[in-house]
């Protein structure tokens, strides 16, 4: 696996950025989270006038052997069917990307079935789905390395070279089970905190899912090293997302983190190179139980809370206009001086 040399974001510009933000025609702090977002974007780009250029979302798809254990009410073939829906422009992520002028690319990271050729499909299949991690590691270390490296390659080559803001989505029946196992192993939280209903399990199905993941974690109790954890419990699409996230930070892009699966991939990426967190914007809090736990663990504040739990990168696409608002006020809002408006007189 290649080394990811992520540069630290600039702090030298902090004073000037804060002065510019506070000098706008508003009480200090009155734009709330938009101000901290503007500061983060300015730091990442080392600019007093950050811009969002050619926003892109990559959606990675893969199948999971853990579905043999009945962890999802949907059959495995739905993964391939939904990829075709993406390619035909009919999914929620297609709608939101069109709405917000975000480029969308779909990647076959490890779908079990062969997908037909399509101009919008990137064929990067590592394998025909992972193995059942309740019985054996989901993938080999070599397959995991190939997935990470392929994700890095796609991050470099698929978006146009001027892209400086990128989000990640996924599709894979069974991948909430992978995300739950990764979350538990990386955070040490109780299994019950990490496992949710996924695509709609009832209470008895949820209890069964928790037991299956608990057994799998016990079976692989000795696995602790980040890449080994990823190869044991992850999916091809999750590992590929890890590589794409890491390389995007190397390229000094703003990284939009979607829901539970993407956050679990980010958790793995942050264990490999902790500096990645400086580049991350956590776009929403999913209704999938484990996502709130990851956000709490990372001390990350999501931009929106809409009860979404679809995946696909939809939270990143829906939240993107908020990021646009943050950089727009910084660039275009008048200052007290330019507008001829009197500032505070109490020296505070």
Model confidence pLDDT, tens digit, residues 86-117: 999 999 999 999 999 999 999 999 999 999 99
- Environment class of residue 218 by beta-carbon count within 10 Å: exposed (0-12), middle (13-18) or buried (19+)? exposed
How many residues in the chain? 348
> Which residues pair with residue 108 across a beta bridge?
61, 123
What is the Cα–Cα distance from 83 to 108, expressed in whole angstroms?
A: 8
- pLDDT, residue 30, reads 97
Check: CB of residue 134 under 8 Å from CB of residue 220: no
What is the Cα–Cα distance from 36 to 39, expressed in whole angstroms?
A: 5
Tokens, residue 217: 């974690």
- Assess whether 247 carries a catalytic annotation: no
Q: Is residue 4 part of a domain?
A: no
- Check whether residue 315 and residue 190 sit in a common domain: yes
The number of domains in the chain is 2
- Check whether residue 107 and residue 167 sit in a common domain: yes
Look up the CATH number of the domain holding residue 116: 3.40.50.10210
Cα–Cα distances in angstroms (integers) from residue 58 to residues 103, 185, 225, 253, 317, in the given order? 8, 26, 27, 14, 11
- Check whether residue 193 and residue 45 sit in a common domain: no
Q: Is residue 9 part of a domain?
A: no
List pLDDT tens digits, range 133-147. Answer: 999 999 999 999 999
What is the Cα–Cα distance from 311 to 124, expressed in whole angstroms?
A: 20
Q: Is residue 190 part of a domain?
A: yes
Domain span at residue 28 reads 14-49+329-339
Q: Is residue 288 part of a domain?
A: yes
- pLDDT, residue 14, reads 95
The H-assigned helical ranges of the chain are: 14-22, 33-45, 78-87, 92-99, 141-157, 175-187, 191-194, 203-219, 226-233, 236-250, 260-272, 289-298, 314-332, 336-339
- Check whether residue 19 and residue 93 sit in a common domain: no
- pLDDT, residue 338, reads 85
- Categorize the per-residue pLDDT at 197 as very low, low, confident or very high, splitting at 50, 70 and 90: confident
- Residue with the two structure tokens 């004073």: 15
Cα–Cα distances in angstroms (integers) from residue 47 to residues 144, 248, 283, in the given order? 36, 18, 22
- Check whether residue 260 and residue 335 sit in a common domain: no
Could you say which of 145, 288, 293, 312 is catalytic?
A: 312
- What does pTM read for this prediction? 0.95
SS3 content of the chain, % helix, strand, coil (to 5): 50, 10, 40
What is the Cα–Cα distance from 50 to 32, expressed in whole angstroms?
A: 18
Asked if residue 344 has pLDDT above 80, the reply is no
- Check whether residue 143 and residue 211 sit in a common domain: yes
- Check whether residue 146 and residue 287 sit in a common domain: yes
Q: What percent of the chain has pLDDT over 70?
A: 98
**Nearest-5° angle of CA 312, CA 151, CA 39?**
70
Check: CB of residue 46 under 8 Å from CB of residue 7: no
- Check whether residue 45 and residue 63 sit in a common domain: no
What mean pLDDT is predicted for residues 296-325? 97
Q: Is residue 261 part of a domain?
A: yes
Look up the CATH number of the domain holding residue 35: 1.10.1610.10
- Check whether residue 294 and residue 149 sit in a common domain: yes
- Check whether residue 121 and residue 185 sit in a common domain: yes
- Check whether residue 161 and residue 23 sit in a common domain: no
Q: Is residue 344 part of a domain?
A: no
- Check whether residue 113 and residue 44 sit in a common domain: no
Largest Cα separation within the chain, whole Å, is 70
Asked if residue 343 has pLDDT above 90, the reply is no
First-to-last C-alpha distance (Å) of the chain: 52
Mean pLDDT score of the chain: 95
Phi/psi of residue 52, nearest 5 degrees = -110, 110
């Amino acid at each position: 696996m290649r080394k990811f040399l992520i540069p630290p974001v600039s702090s030298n510009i902090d004073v000037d950025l804060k002065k510019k933000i506070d000098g706008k025609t508003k009480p200090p702090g009155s734009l709330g989270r938009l101000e901290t977002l503007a500061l983060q974007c300015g730091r990442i780009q080392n600019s007093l006038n950050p811009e969002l250029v050619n926003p892109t979302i990559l959606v990675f798809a893969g199948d999971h052997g853990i579905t043999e254990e009945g962890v999802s009410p949907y059959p495995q073939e739905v993964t391939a069917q939904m990829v075709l829906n993406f390619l035909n422009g009919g999914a929620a992520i297609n709608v939101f990307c069109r709405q917000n002028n975000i480029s969308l690319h779909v990647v076959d990271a490890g779908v079990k079935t062969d997908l037909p050729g399509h101009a919008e499909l990137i064929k990067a299949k590592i394998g025909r789905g992972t193995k059942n991690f309740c019985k054996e590691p989901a993938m080999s270390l070599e397959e995991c390395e190939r997935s990470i490296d392929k994700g890095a390659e796609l991050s470099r080559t698929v978006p146009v070279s001027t892209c400086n803001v990128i989000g990640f989505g996924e599709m894979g029946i069974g991948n909430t089970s992978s995300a739950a196992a990764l979350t538990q192993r990386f955070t040490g939280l109780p299994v019950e905190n990490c496992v949710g209903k996924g695509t709609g399990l009832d209470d008895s199905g949820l209890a069964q899912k928790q037991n299956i993941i608990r057994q799998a974690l016990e079976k692989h109790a000795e696995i602790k090293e980040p890449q080994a954890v990823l190869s044991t419990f992850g999916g091809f699409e999750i590992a590929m997302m890890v590589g794409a996230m890491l390389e995007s930070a190397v390229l000094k892009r703003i990284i939009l983190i979607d829901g539970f699966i993407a956050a679990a991939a980010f958790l793995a990426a942050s264990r490999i190179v902790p500096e990645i967190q400086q580049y991350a914007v956590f776009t929403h809090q999913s209704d999938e139980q484990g996502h709130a736990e990851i956000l709490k663990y990372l001390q990350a504040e999501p931009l929106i809370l809409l009860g979404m739990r679809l995946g696909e990168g939809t939270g990143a696409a829906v939240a993107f206009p908020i990021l646009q608002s943050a950089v727009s006020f910084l660039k275009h809002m008048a200052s007290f001086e330019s507008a001829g408006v009197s500032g505070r007189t109490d020296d505070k």
